[in-house]
Amino acid sequence: MAKNVITLNRGELARMNRLLDIKPDGCWRWKGEKTTNGYAKWSKVSGAPVRAAHRVIWEHYHQQQIPEGMQLDHLCRVRDCVNPEHFEVVTPSENTMRQNHFERNKTHCPQGHEYNEENTRITNKNKRVCRSCDRDRRRMRKDAASAEEGQPESG
């Protein structure tokens, strides 16, 4: 057995199993504590260091450590799933590239204009901006400024 691999004894496995909700899609949903962004947390005993439960379970079932600098990609895209068959060991950049980025997948701006080469500007913070909406905002600011200039001063 590899050195430093998390191996769970029968009692620890039983405690973990009580925290699982096995779903028809094969996900083992975690009913225990979770991180603020939804990943399962687990500690062998009270006061012991808290680890990501999916990493602990993966190491136990595969009897090997996750290589240093590598991550587990949730192939099912369910953050609180801890089924070791739903993970693939990948580099951090591969894991990030595979993520379903909500903004990246949008094809239209909130006003319904298409994000395409002609109608999209990329900011210095790498955000997409709709050129049509940008023009509309500039026009509205200009109209508002013109209207203010024509108003008599109150006082």
What is the tens place of the pLDDT at every residue in 38-57? 999 998 877 888 999 999 99
Structure tokens at 115: 């994000």
pLDDT band at 7 (very low <50, low <70, confident <90, very high): confident
Question: Does the pLDDT value for residue 96 go beyond 60?
Answer: yes
Give the whole-angstrom CA distance, residue 88 versus residue 97.
14
CA quadruple 81, 84, 90, 91: dihedral sign: positive
What is residue 147's predicted lDDT score, i.e. its pLDDT? Answer: 85
3 part of a folded domain? no
What is residue 1's predicted lDDT score, i.e. its pLDDT? Answer: 46
Domain residue limits at 26:
10-98
pLDDT average, residue stretch 9-15? 91
The tally of domains found in the chain comes to: 2
pTM of the model: 0.62
Question: Does the pLDDT value for residue 103 go beyond 80?
Answer: no
Same structural domain, 64 and 120: no
Question: Does the pLDDT value for residue 90 go beyond 70?
Answer: yes
152 part of a folded domain? yes
60 part of a folded domain? yes
Give the whole-angstrom CA distance, residue 134 versus residue 54.
44
Conformation bin of residue 150: beta by default, left when phi > 0, alpha when psi is -120 to 50: alpha
Per DSSP bridges, beta strands 41-42 and 28-30 are unpaired
CA quadruple 32, 94, 68, 86: dihedral sign: positive
